[in-house]
Each structure stands twice: as C-alpha cells, then as structure tokens.
C-alpha cells in the first residue's frame, strides 16, 4: 500500500495560510483533500508566534475532531510544537480541559457537543484565550438556519476575535446553505443574522408550502460575489494531479414479487410480508421504506425488527469482493440493517463512525492505511468528512446511492485525495425502477450546481 511521504506545504496552502493570517473573518474553500487544516494550523501557529493570538478553538465533525486534528500537528514538522487537547470525554473531563486552555495552543471539539460548549463559554471572560480564534471545519454541517447547533454558535460568534470557516462543499444543496455559516463567521456582517428576510430577497418558493425555493434572476451571482469578499477559493488547477476516477453504476433487477411489494408501499403506504402488515404513516415515510425494500429489507417496529425481502444487493457485493481478490474495499452503507447484512455476509467487518469509539476508530484508520484491512465499512453521515483513507485502498462500494450530494462527494474524497496514486473506482449499486434512481439523479444535479458555484468563486 501507499505510505505517507514527508510533508511540505504546497504553494496554495502557503497562500491560504497567509490569507487566513491577515483576516479575522474568512472562509477557505478548497477541494476535498486539499489540506485546509494544515493551512489553518500554519496560520494559527504564526499568529501565536507573533503574539497576536494565544489559542484556537476548532469545531469539526466528531471523528475529524477526535482523530484528524490531533494527528495533523504531528505530521508537519513546523506544527509539532503545538499542544492539542480533544474534548471527547465525559462532561467533567471536558470542563477540566476547558479550564486549562490557556496552557496550550489548540482545543478541538466535535460539532455534536456545540450546545454543551456554548453553555460553558457563557462563563468565560471576553479576554480569555479560548475566545481568540474560532475555526469551524466543514461549515456545511451548520447550514440549517433552524438547527440548534448553528443558532447556538451564532449567539456567541461575536465574542471570538478571529473566525474562520473551512469547507470543500460550501453549498451542498443550494445557495441558501451559505447563509448560516456566513452569519456565524461574519457575525452577521455579510448578510445579517435573520435568514427569512434574506431568503425572501433572493428566492421564491416553488410550491405554496415553501418546501423548495428557487433563486431569483441574478441572485446566484450576487450571492457568490458577496461570499467571495470573505472567501479564498483554491481552484482545481492548484491541486496536485490525481489519478483517474471512474464511477461504475451497476443497475440490478429486483424480483417481480419484490417489485409488487415496492409498488404497494409506494402507492398505498403499506406492505404485507411474511404475514406482517407494515404501514407507512405518510408518503415521506413510505419513501424511506421504499429505499429499505430496494436494499433488501423492511423495518417494522423500529430498526431492531427488520424483515428480509431479497438478497440481490448483498449478492452484488459478494461478487464484487470476490472479483477484487483481496484488494481493499471501502463500503458505504445507509441503514444499520445494511451493516448487519454486510457482517452476516463477510464476518466482523470493522466500521468507521458510530458506534465505534474514537480510540478504536484511530486504530482502524491506521490499519486501513497500512493495508491490513481488506474490508472497511463507513456511514457517510458519521465518517464521510475529513478522514484520510487514501493510503489504504482505491475502491469504494455503495450498496445504494445517497440522497446527499455533499455526503457523496465527501465520502468519495476519503480515498480520492492527494496522496492517492492508484486509479480510483467507485462502484454504485442501483435497484432499477426504485427510489435509487431518484437518489442517483438528485445527487448528480446537486453536485453540478455546487461545481458551478465553485467556478463562480474563482472569478470573483
């Protein structure tokens, strides 16, 4: 397997570090795997060395905060002097670590603990080192204007002297995803702090209920131009060359009786399987149950009581694993029953993300990158951001497409990133005539819109 080489900052990382150093409000938008964390840490180290700041608080996806940020300071020679603590233990230990923040340069915490963090920061004096620098890694995690974490951060953002946002997917669904991260990082200076008035100035609802909105003419360009005033964009041309990426979508046909069950659930919101009558309380719930049927099972009363429906997809995965003849494979799954099915087929396949604890996850990452794991499962929502898995393999399998363009792009970037030297192949299983096809098409559309936004930023 590939091994990490001694690291030297690339020219675009040096430019990014300078950009951040010079600004108290800034976004760094860079392709996945570009090394945004190293650039931010370099800027932090220089700010501290020059006496401008004393400490940085990093908020990141849980697994990234617990494994990636502590590791980053070890792999770069110019960062090894930075002392790091991760707030990932019980509340008493977290509270004790916060109290000693002035004794180190960096504190990292998972975004899942933001509500707890905000309560603790309420008692911190404005001149405390904890409030010197705030770095939010993967700002798209805070895109929901009604989300508790984002709203809580917005209340305290102004107390931090310096605020930076790092992201590879700035607008995973639409331009509206930019508002809340921008409100937090700029403390409302860019577009204000109230989402609804801003939304109504730039968008109109597609339906009477306001479930989906479309941008008004010229709004996308205005939003991108505004955002460009506080953002540095690393273009794809700045990135080191990556090997080819090939996405292989394999349609599979479900048995006729399964498609009858699928159609019944889709149109009548119930299904009769193995003398059970399983109902969906709404069309939205029925859509989720249709996705379960497409994958080979159906939940009844909770996810501990699934009914097996077919084995088409796991048979597809068995054939793929057999054809790889021991070549490592990363497997993305959607439902917990998918993971159980994978383990019934292949034994105790290790998994990244919940419920694997951070210490065990760190060892799994090391083992994968050392070529010791033929199979490794991950859930894109809990382990799809920020992890470096490019040294252990170059193939990924999806039992089904994801609904989320962001999670899809982020998960693929775990192996398709700088350091990867092998041709990367992504295998996606799509059940023909099912919601899988809608998910596939939706993701492709969203990724295209996001790429257009990135290109616009390059012109700003």
Classify residue 168 by burial, with Cβ atoms within 10 Å: 0-12, 13-18, 19+.
buried
Specify the pTM. Answer: 0.76
Is domain 245-254+310-454 classified as CATH 1.20.140.10?
A: no
User: By three-state DSSP, how is residue 404 classified?
Assistant: coil
The domain locations on the chain are 11-238, 245-254+310-454
Of the candidates 16, 8, 401, the one whose C-alpha atom is nearest the C-alpha of residue 235 is 16
Tens of pLDDT along the chain (460 residues) come to 444 444 689 899 999 999 999 999 999 999 878 889 999 999 999 999 999 999 999 999 888 898 889 989 998 999 999 999 999 878 999 999 999 999 999 999 999 999 999 999 999 999 999 999 999 999 999 999 999 999 999 999 999 999 999 998 898 888 999 999 999 999 999 999 999 999 999 999 988 877 789 999 999 999 999 999 999 999 877 877 788 999 999 999 999 999 999 999 999 998 988 778 898 888 888 999 999 999 999 998 777 789 999 999 999 999 999 999 999 999 999 999 999 999 999 999 999 977 788 778 889 999 999 999 999 999 988 876 778 899 999 999 999 999 888 889 889 999 998 889 999 999 999 999 999 998 888 887 666 666 666 665 655 4
Any idea which architecture 11-238 has in CATH? Answer: 3-Layer(aba) Sandwich (3.40)
DSSP per-residue string spanning 281-329:
SSHHHHHHHHHHHHHTEEEESEEEEEEE---HHHHHHHHHHHHHTT--E
What would the two tokens of residue 272 be?
Answer: 């009769």
Distance CA 257, CA 423 (A): 39
CA 12 to chain centre: 23
Distance CA 181, CA 138 (A): 10
Of the candidates 167, 429, 186, 176, the one whose C-alpha atom is nearest the C-alpha of residue 311 is 429
**Do residues 351 and 378 lie in contact, with contact meaning Cβ atoms separated by under 8 Å?**
yes
**Do residues 123 and 76 lie in contact, with contact meaning Cβ atoms separated by under 8 Å?**
no
């Amino acid at each position: 397997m590939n091994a990490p080489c001694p690291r030297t900052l690339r020219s675009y990382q040096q430019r990014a570090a300078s950009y951040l150093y010079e600004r108290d409000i800034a976004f760094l938008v860079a392709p996945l795997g570009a090394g945004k964390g190293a650039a931010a840490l370099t800027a932090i180290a220089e700010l501290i060395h020059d006496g401008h700041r004393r400490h940085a608080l990093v908020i990141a996806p849980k697994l990234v905060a617990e494994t990636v940020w502590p590791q980053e300071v070890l792999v770069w020679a110019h960062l090894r002097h930075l002392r790091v603590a991760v707030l990932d233990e019980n509340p008493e230990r977290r509270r004790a670590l916060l109290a000693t923040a002035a004794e180190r340069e960096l504190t990292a915490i998972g975004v899942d603990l933001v509500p707890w963090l905000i309560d603790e920061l309420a008692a911190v004096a404005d001149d405390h080192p904890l409030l010197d620098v705030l770095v939010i890694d993967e700002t798209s995690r805070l895109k929901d204007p009604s989300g508790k974490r984002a709203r809580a951060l917005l209340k305290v953002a102004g107390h931090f002297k310096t605020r930076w946002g790092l992201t590879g997917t700035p607008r995973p669904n639409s331009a509206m995803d930019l508002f809340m991260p921008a409100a937090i990082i700029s403390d409302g200076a860019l577009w204000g702090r109230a989402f609804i008035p801003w939304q109504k100035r730039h968008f109109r609802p597609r339906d009477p209920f306001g479930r989906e909105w479309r941008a008004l003419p010229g709004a996308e360009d205005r939003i991108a131009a505004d955002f460009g005033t506080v953002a540095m964009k690393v273009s794809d041309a700045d990135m080191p060359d990556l090997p080819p990426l090939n996405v292989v979508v394999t349609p599979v046909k479900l048995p006729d009786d399964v498609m009858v069950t699928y159609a019944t659930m889709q149109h009548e919101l119930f299904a009769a399987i193995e003398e059970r009558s399983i109902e969906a309380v709404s069309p939205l719930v029925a859509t989720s149950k249709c996705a379960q049927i497409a994958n080979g099972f159906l939940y009844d009363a909770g996810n501990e009581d699934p009914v097996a429906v077919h084995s088409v997809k796991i048979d597809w995965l068995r054939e793929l694993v057999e054809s790889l003849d021991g070549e490592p494979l990363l497997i993305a799954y959607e439902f917990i029953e998918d993971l159980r099915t994978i383990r019934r087929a292949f034994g105790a396949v290790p998994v990244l993300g919940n419920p694997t604890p951070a210490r065990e996850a760190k060892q799994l990452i090391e083992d994968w990158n050392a070529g010791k794991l033929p199979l490794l499962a991950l859930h894109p929502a809990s382990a799809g951001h920020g992890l470096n898995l490019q040294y252990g393999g170059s193939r990924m399998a999806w039992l089904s497409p994801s609904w989320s363009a962001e999670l899809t792009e982020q998960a693929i970037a775990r192996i398709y990133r700088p350091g990867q030297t092998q041709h990367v192949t992504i295998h996606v299983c799509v059940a023909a005539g099912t919601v899988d096809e809608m998910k596939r098409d939706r993701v492709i559309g969203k990724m295209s819109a996001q790429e257009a936004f990135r290109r616009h930023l390059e012109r700003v």
